[in-house]
A and B are shown apart, each in its own frame.
Chain A
Amino acid sequence: MMRRRRVVRWAGGLVAGMAVAGVFAGGASGPAGAQVASDRVGAIVVFPKIVVDTQALTTRGRSDTLVRIANVSNEAISIKCFYVNANGHCSNAPTRVCTPGAPAGPDNPCGPGAICIPGWQEADFTVNITAGQPVAWLASEGAVACEEVVGTDLPCFPLGGTAPGSPNNNGGSRVPPVSEDPFVGQLKCLAVDRNDVPVERNALKGDAEIIRSDEGLIDVLAYNAIGIPAIAGTNDRDNVLVLGGEAAEYGACPNVLIMDHFFDGARDPVSGLEVTSDLTLVPCTEDFLTQAPVTTTVQFLVYNEFEQRFSTSRPVTCFQEFRISTIDTASPDRSIFSAAVAGTLTGQTRMRGVATDDVGIGHTLLGVAEEFRVGGGGAAFNLHFHGTRPQSDYIYLP
Chain B
Amino acid sequence: MRPGMLVPVVVLGFAMAAYGDVTTERSSSILVFPRVLSDATGVQTRAPVDTVIQISNTSNSMVFAHCYYVNASPADPSRPPSVFNPPQWQEVDFDIRLTKQQPTHWVVSQGRRDDASDRACTRTYRECNGAGFDPGMIPPVPDPFVGELKCIEVDATGAPINGNHLKGEATLVTPDGDVSKYNAVGILGLNTATNSNDGDTFLCLGNAPADVCPGGAEYNACPQTLVLNGFAEGASDPVVEAFGNGPSAVFTELSLVPCSQDYENQAPASVVVQFKIINEFEELFSASTTVTCWSSFRLSQVARVFEEGFVGSRFVQTQMRAATPEYAGVIGVAEEFHVQAGLAPGETVVGRAALNLLVDGERPNGDVIRLIEVFQ
Contacts and interface: CB of A to CB of B under 8 A. Distances in A.
Contact of A381 (B182, B314, B316): B182
Interface stretch (A2-10, A126-134, A179-187, A189-197): A126-134
Contacts of A134: 229, 278-280, 315-317
A218 B24 contact: no
A271 B341 CA distance: 23
Interface stretch (B64-72, B102-110, B148-156): B102-110
Interface in A199-215: 203, 205-207, 209, 211-215
Interface in A152-168: 153-155, 158-159, 168
B84 interface: no
Interface residues of A, number: 96
A47 interface: no
A270 interface: yes
A258 B56 contact: yes
Interface residues of B, number: 96
B137 interface: no
Contact of A216 (B179, B349, B360): B349
B187 to A, nearest CB: 13
Nearest to A271: B177
A221 to B, nearest CB: 6
Contact of A333 (B19, B102, B123, B131): B123
Q: Which of B20, B58, B182 has the most C-beta atoms of chain A within 10 angstroms of its own C-beta? A: B58
A269 B182 CA distance: 18
Contacts of A41: 16, 227, 358, 360
A213 B241 CA distance: 9
Contacts of B342: 216
Interface in B340-376: 340-343, 347, 349-360
20 contacts: A30-B19, A31-B19, A38-B24, A54-B242, A72-B317, A72-B360, A133-B280, A133-B282, A134-B278, A153-B242, A211-B351, A221-B353, A258-B167, A270-B50, A333-B123, A339-B121, A339-B128, A344-B131, A348-B102, A379-B354
B123 to A, nearest CB: 4
A156 B100 CA distance: 50
A131 B282 contact: yes
Given A132-B284, A136-B315, A218-B340, A371 B178 contact: no
A124 interface: no
A384 interface: yes
A379 B121 contact: no
A138 B238 contact: yes
A74 to B, nearest CB: 7
B10 interface: no
A145 to B, nearest CB: 12
Given A72-B16, A222-B353, A344 B120 contact: yes
B52 interface: yes
Contacts of B173: 268, 270-271, 373
B122 A340 contact: yes
Nearest to B62: A307
A88 interface: no
B177 to A, nearest CB: 2
Nearest to A63: B239
Contacts of B181: 371, 379-381
What are the nearest 8 A-B pairs in CB distance? A376-B177, A305-B132, A216-B343, A373-B177, A377-B178, A343-B120, A222-B353, A218-B351
Given A38-B356, A72-B227, A376-B177, A346 B54 contact: yes
A386 interface: yes
A282 interface: no
Residue among A31, A64, A132, A270 with max Cβ neighbours from chain B (10 Å):
A270
Interface string B90-123: 0000000001111111010010000000001111
B211 interface: no
A305 B356 contact: no
B129 interface: yes
A55 B181 CA distance: 27
Contact of B278 (A132, A155, A215): A132
Contact of A37 (B25, B101, B355): B25
B278 A37 contact: no
B349 A217 contact: yes
Contacts of A385: 25-26
A348 B57 CA distance: 9
Contacts of A70: 227, 229, 317
Contacts of B290: none
Interface string A26-37: 000111001001
B280 A346 contact: no
A88 B20 CA distance: 41
Interface string B247-280: 0100000000000000000000000000000111
Contact of B25 (A39, A138, A376): A39
A174 interface: no
B256 to A, nearest CB: 15
B180 interface: yes
Contacts of B174: 270-271
A238 to B, nearest CB: 26
A220 interface: yes
Contacts of A205: 227, 229, 317, 358
Contact of A260 (B103, B229, B230, B349): B103
A117 B36 CA distance: 45
B122 A343 contact: yes
Contacts of A346: 54, 103-105, 132
A141 B122 CA distance: 45
B240 interface: yes
Interface string A256-279: 001010010111111101000000
Contacts of B220: none
Contacts of A207: 229, 355
Nearest to A153: B241
B338 A376 contact: no
B314 A155 contact: yes
Contacts of A116: none
B227 A158 contact: no
B11 interface: no
Interface string B283-322: 0100000000000000000000000000001111101000
A72 B319 CA distance: 9
Contacts of B245: 213-215, 218
A371 B179 contact: yes
A264 to B, nearest CB: 11
A348 B101 contact: yes
Contacts of B316: 134
B178 A39 contact: no
A224 B230 CA distance: 11
A306 B229 contact: no
B73 to A, nearest CB: 19
